[in-house]
Chain A
Amino acid sequence: MEERSKLGRGLKEISQVYLSDSTRDEIRRAGDHKTEPGPRTIIRVCHPGSCLVQSFFLTNLALELARNQFPVFVWDGLDSSRAGIEPLMKSLVLEQRENEAATVRLYGLPDILIHGPGRHDADKLSDLVNIIHSSDNDCYLLVNADSSLESLMNDKIHAEHILLSGIDEKSLLQCYAHIRVIQGKGSPCGIFIVFDGLNDGKMAQDTFNRFAAFIEKKLQFTIYYLGYLSHDEYLHRSVEESKPLMLLQDRSETKDNMTAISRNLILFRQNHQKNS
């Protein structure tokens, strides 16, 4: 019985992380998606309350986008800290040379290329932005941002924003302050909200309705709701074991939340492109 159990775990490990180290033709990264190029594919992710949850979220969002065949670039603004992306993707990152992007290569999916100020100079981010802008396919640049307001104010990138927040009053006020600064910088793109640390969808939706109504009234600006992220044991296990949640085989509430959030983002962008 013990042997059988061991065998089961082994197979599971293989299916969880099915890596491919073969070189990938860059044209294949482009895929057949023909969509409008532009800044809408650059997304700045920020959680003013928790760098770790922010990196966790971005890691799994990147994997979900790749699973939907979107090429993904990541700028990990937290790569010099322990709360960066790479520790969470440790088991997936291929060997890399200095000054090169960390590459996550999963079987059948576009590569995820991770850059960051710890390994590249700041011009690299501008290069990535140019790549995204000039690309004729629907690819994403996800920016794992420093969550301070100062960093937001100094940020020159024209991007959409995903703001993660708790639903307590202080977290929401922090989130509101970020939206205020984003709006103050002029011509804001889309701002998406994800509520973190709760498992009640109705409560999350009600909170968003109140929050969005206030912002609409006060700033004459519409924000969008992507969903909520519960914290179940798989989230903790994923962080502890440096294995992204989306690659764990077990069913998990947090994983379902993450899938729904990613789907909402993709659908929103598709609808937006159709309407524009």
Chain B
Amino acid sequence: MSRILKPVSLQGVEYVHQICAQYFMEEHGMKIAEYNLGNTFTGNIDLLATDGESVFLVTINKKDFAGALLRSFMGLRWFNENLDFLMRVYPPEDIDLDLPVRLIILSQEFPPEIHSILNDVCSVPVQLYRYELLGSVDDPDIFIQDIGISKGSEQPAKQDLDELRKELGIEDAGLSDEEILEFQSAMKS
């Protein structure tokens, strides 16, 4: 006997954050350090999670994608600006905030070419998941599909390289931007 799961409207479904959190814990082995961090005005993160290799700032889109995207970016900015404070609040055994940061956005719909848009704009990787709630409002099931990662621009801008040369006192070595970037890439690999 087969069971047919019908899509459920988000309206009326409570605990969406908890359902998504359960997915990340069970499917990706993540640890959720906090729910609903920050606020609407300064930046908001729905889930603060880690898998021991990265810190994830998770945004769950419940209305429109544009609003969720802006909220995700504001959340990242808020996170970066308040990192010292957050490091005092969350002990490293709960979440190591020194780890590289990634954004995760869950949404029911994504605009076309979203990956290349994010690649052009973002400085951090953004992982995208499409999700749908099925079954009943009282007992919903979640279907989540990984639709890929936008790697973001991890290369520092030209101005940053000039500052880097100055900071390290290596202006006179005559290292070109390409050479520094090649060096950084070789050391990471």
Asked whether A181 lies within 8 Å of B187 as measured between CB atoms, the reply is no
Chain B neighbourhood of A214, CB < 8 A? 182-183, 186-187
A203 to B: closest C-beta gap in Å: 13
A26 within 8 A of B: no
Chain B neighbourhood of A172, CB < 8 A? 183, 187
Asked whether B187 lies within 8 Å of A177 as measured between CB atoms, the reply is no
| Contact indicator per residue, chain A 47-65, by CB within 8 Å of chain B (1) or not (0) | 0100000000000000000
Asked whether A176 lies within 8 Å of B183 as measured between CB atoms, the reply is yes
Chain A neighbourhood of B186, CB < 8 A? 210, 213-214
B91 within 8 A of A: no
Residue of B nearest to A170 (CB): B168
| Contact indicator per residue, chain B 93-115, by CB within 8 Å of chain A (1) or not (0) | 00000000000000000000000
B164 to A: closest C-beta gap in Å: 7
**How far, in whole Å, are A184 and B164 apart by their CA atoms in the complex?**
21
The number of chain A residues with a CB under 8 A from chain B is 22
**How far, in whole Å, are A11 and B189 apart by their CA atoms in the complex?**
52
* Interfacial residues, chain A to chain B (CB-CB below 8 A): 48, 148-150, 153, 169-170, 172-174, 176-178, 180-181, 184, 207, 210-211, 213-214, 218
The number of chain B residues with a CB under 8 A from chain A is 18
* Interfacial residues, chain B to chain A (CB-CB below 8 A): 164, 167-170, 172-175, 179-180, 182-184, 186-189
Asked whether A149 lies within 8 Å of B187 as measured between CB atoms, the reply is no
From the candidates B170, B182, B188, B189, name the one contacting A149 in the complex (CB within 8 A).
B170
Chain B neighbourhood of A207, CB < 8 A? 187
- Judged by DSSP, the binding face of A is helix
A165 to B: closest C-beta gap in Å: 11
A1 to B: closest C-beta gap in Å: 41
Asked whether A174 lies within 8 Å of B187 as measured between CB atoms, the reply is no
Q: Which 7 A-B pairs have the closest CB atoms?
A: A177-B173, A177-B170, A214-B186, A174-B168, A149-B172, A180-B173, A181-B173
A121 to B: closest C-beta gap in Å: 26
B11 to A: closest C-beta gap in Å: 49
Chain A neighbourhood of B164, CB < 8 A? 170, 173
Residue of B nearest to A214 (CB): B186
